[in-house]
Structure 1
Amino acid sequence: MTKHQIYKMSVAKVYPHYISKAEKKGRTKSEVDEIIRWLTGYSQEDLDARLENQTDFETFFAEAPHLNPSRNLIKGVVCGVRVEDIEEPTMREIRYLDKLIDELAKGKAMEKILRD
């Protein structure tokens, strides 16, 4: 089976779109970073390094220090697909991130987005 193209896409290529989506709705880059750190366990320095090094999504999630166990509480639809129904692990992680950014852009409170 062929892997989806997004797996080899650099996180840094999509990251500005996450920021833009959030800022258009009055949210901040620091909130986007907080979401990514919560989801993956990367420190801000590690996240910045991954972006600078053009790390692809597959590697980004495979090498994440600590995928948050509460991420399994993320439910809903992204791109017409329910995130909780995605079976392929890497795609599910990518869609978790997409869903969290969507929630941020829709004005959801950070304490609700970060399901702890």
Structure 2
Amino acid sequence: MADEKNNPNNKKGQINIELDEKIAEGTYSNLAIINHSVSEFVVDFVSIMPGTPKSKVKSRIILTPQHAKRLLKALGENVTRFEKAHGEIKDYEQPPIPLNFGPTGQA
């Protein structure tokens, strides 16, 4: 591990974040399912393809409530900047998607 104190590229207070090739490819998602508890927000990213009756969660991100709020703010700011540069994003009406997570409980 490199000595961070002697690294001239590491300015005080900056974090060096690495992005490996597999993660850099990204994962396509056209549905996000969000649940929360007192201590965390869980965001499941799903890719639903037309004509396919079954889909899998492709990625799950777990956030603290504070980070969820920061993400909401950052997404809002980015959408605003995008729309200023490219015009309004149209929100097309989507038919409701019946979701079935795992086995159905029985009484």
TM-score normalised by length of structure 2: 0.21
Query: Higher Cα Rg: structure 1 or 2?
Result: 2
Comparing both structures, which one devotes a greater share of its residues to helix?
1
